[in-house]
A and B are shown apart, each in its own frame.
Chain A
């Protein structure tokens, strides 16, 4: 009698395990090329933050999202300029896209909105998230900087 019940449990569980069929569990792969880690951008830049990345998913991409927010920390200001006239703001920018829906590969080249001239200087976090048709989600992060000196724009267009 004592052996029947553990056996019964095992049997039941065996039955249950046999149900598992793992279909598409892999999240999209995001390869972020630009910006580079620690890359500086100038406050007030019309071009905003330039981003280049590749998205890839075997079962088909769905949505992707760009999220930029202030990362705190110290500013790497080189000059000792006077504060901007207006109150500094912690810049934050979010945008979602669905133009990669159903694609297996997608190359993205986008610019954020213009960086506010009164943006608080210092570290900012960039997060790029993507989902596939099943809802598997992946995010990659990068830190860049907003500085108050001119930076050579390496973006060709």
Chain B
């Protein structure tokens, strides 16, 4: 079965390569093709941007919905999810993530504990309407942290028709016995809308294809393959309203994402106190666990001041509360006045972005903007990880987008950021001295987009970006549970800068009829040089804490990163689509010659899908087989474990069930990890424990749409 699927994928891969020549010959013989005009002005403006933007909308989400937003987006080339079990994951673009990547929801940068690998992305995936992904430095508009890229999430789109509409989604997973649902009610009248959404998810501990795991050198049993205490709950609510006319538009978003998740009992605290007995309560959440609550209010306003002037103002406030609970004795401590509250982080952020856009001529658009942000962090609990701090930061930028001719467009911009962090002194078991540290620098970029005809696109972009070190890089002093090691900050770090160049070539062609209907291929390469890349380096000195190994300290070094993505897609024989995507990242610390830790290996994804308009009474059927191959990652940092290669197969079937009276049913059935393969993911929280990732998982999603 497996080899059969492999053969299909390889054959398809060859077909894609062979097709390219055929496309050329077809073009030559016909002379001029029929041209199908698709897309809209937004798509056209995206194509003129020098950085490639990947847009996914509702349809993609409906056909690929996984267990979390990142699990859904992970199939896209160049995008990875730093996995923490089933429930949560963090985005990684081209091997960089955490505080080098920005996730912006409704125009406001999502502020979480970005630095922590064990903190998921606190966004309700069922409330997402559209996701744009910019791979490459997008610091100019999105702030200095967007070195690796930006993920832009929108939770509202105006509908073409007025009236009441809604949807109800029910979902379930077999692996962790998840059940959940999400409901949405939307009302739009003329120029006003209001929307409410609620989501609930409840899951058991998940299962892996392994019988034992290793913690601190000893083997512990996993009863029935269950990772004890990895059950969780999620409860989200959102409310949005908006109003628009020819001169002004305003939208207000209020949302709250709440989650409670158990920490795998085998990965926290002293191993001799690990209780791995099978108690049978797979849905119960016991100690250690964490609770996160993310509350956010965002307003988006657009003022159409004049036919040529537009002012966009996005303002937001977020309160990110995170509490981790564990019994003090599992860390070798006695009774604590804080009880079981191990760590509490209370981060409040106020943000303001204002962008003025001046349309000088249709071919020359000037943007000038300002971003300002204020962060206020307080901590609690009996263990120390991160100090309290306040951090005001602001940036101003100017970008000019111009079109030289119908085929050549460009953009250039410059930005200046300045921020200052005030870290509070901490005297306890760990010590951090207070400090005030300002940082400021210039970022710039310039790029060109060349479209000689409707088929080819060539983009090139180069620039410099920088980011200020964050509080944990300056002043952490404790065990980061995300990586199970003792991390020490360094207050003398300098801001990190990067020089990066991207080249992107894309080709697409559409034929009216014939065996081949549509084909597209794209290749992107990037190279970047960091004169002072910040990363954790082993010191050789042991931590005094019993559960930690040696101390890792934040250091700076010259680093080089390069890589790229290649993708091809071909539609043939009316109903088939074949796509192949490959990506690779190479990252080296130039001073030691060692690879940079947590660099994803070579990945190749092949997908074969079939679409039928009608199958019995079902409409819009799509059946897809996906093969994901990850090569071994042997380029590892000091003390980092190498990860062997793996193949994974997924199956998915999406279909619509027409039910009349404005009601539509969408059904999505998926099998992830079809063969229950035991595999390790290089970018995973559990890699250090030699714990394989989730075993076979059946997912079912039923969505009922009313007037939608």
Contact = CB atoms under 8 A, between A and B. Distances in A.
Interface string A76-99: 000000000000001010101010
Interface in B517-547: 521, 523, 525, 527, 537-542, 544, 546
A34 to B, nearest CB: 18
* Residue among B537, B540, B638 having the largest count of chain A Cβ atoms under 10 Å: B540
B185 interface: no
A141 B218 contact: yes
Contacts of B537: 135
B639 A136 contact: yes
B639 A137 contact: yes
Contacts of A135: 537-540, 550, 638-639
B584 interface: yes
B218 A71 contact: yes
A125 B521 CA distance: 57
Interface string A3-39: 0011011001101110111110101000000000000
B223 to A, nearest CB: 15
A135 B541 CA distance: 8
A96 B527 CA distance: 43
Contacts of B541: 62-63, 96, 98, 131
B538 A131 contact: yes
B216 interface: yes
B546 A67 contact: yes
Main secondary structure of the interface of B (DSSP, over half): strand
A25 B638 contact: yes
A131 B542 contact: yes
B586 interface: yes
A71 B218 CA distance: 9
B272 interface: yes
A150 interface: no
Interface stretch (B157-165, B192-200, B422-430, B558-566): B558-566
B550 A63 contact: yes
Contact of A5 (B216, B273, B523): B523
A69 B586 contact: no
A129 B550 contact: yes
A22 B638 contact: no
Contact of A23 (B217, B538, B593): B593
Contacts of B332: 92
Contacts of B566: 5-6, 9
A27 to B, nearest CB: 8
Interface string B633-668: 001001100000000000000000000000000000
A96 B544 contact: yes
Contacts of A125: 216-218, 271-272
A13 B217 contact: no
Counting contact residues on chain A (CB < 8 A from B), the size range is 35 or more
Contacts of B588: 16, 19-20
Interface in A134-153: 134-137, 139-141
B20 interface: yes
B191 to A, nearest CB: 47
A96 B540 CA distance: 11
Contact of A69 (B527, B546, B584, B590): B546
A71 B276 CA distance: 13
B592 A23 contact: yes
Given A92-B332, A137-B538, A141-B218, A16 B272 contact: no
B505 interface: yes
Contacts of A9: 523, 525, 564, 566, 584
A51 to B, nearest CB: 16
Contacts of B20: 2
Contacts of A27: 639
B544 A70 contact: no
B297 interface: no
Interface in A53-68: 62-65, 67
Nearest to B564: A9
Interface string A42-56: 000000000000000
Q: Which of B507, B564, B584 has the most CB of A within 10 A?
A: B564
A116 interface: no
B268 to A, nearest CB: 15
A25 B542 CA distance: 19
B544 A69 contact: no
Contact of A139 (B217, B270, B564): B217
A21 B594 CA distance: 7
B549 interface: yes
Given A62-B540, A70-B272, A5 B525 contact: yes
Given A2-B20, A12-B562, A62-B541, A92 B270 contact: yes
Contact of B562 (A13, A22, A62): A13
Given A25-B638, A69-B270, A133 B540 contact: yes
B546 A136 contact: no
Interface string B565-607: 0100000000000000000101010101111000000000000
Given A70-B272, A131-B541, A17 B639 contact: no
Given A1-B505, A2-B521, A62-B540, 7 more contacts: A19-B590, A69-B272, A92-B272, A94-B546, A131-B550, A137-B550, A139-B217
Interface of B: 20, 216-218, 270-273, 332, 503, 505, 507, 521, 523, 525, 527, 537-542, 544, 546, 549-550, 560, 562-564, 566, 584, 586, 588, 590, 592-595, 635, 638-639
7 contacts: A9-B525, A12-B564, A90-B272, A125-B217, A129-B542, A133-B540, A136-B639
Interface of A: 1-2, 5-6, 8-9, 12-13, 15-17, 19-23, 25, 27, 62-65, 67, 69-72, 90, 92, 94, 96, 98, 125, 127, 129, 131-137, 139-141
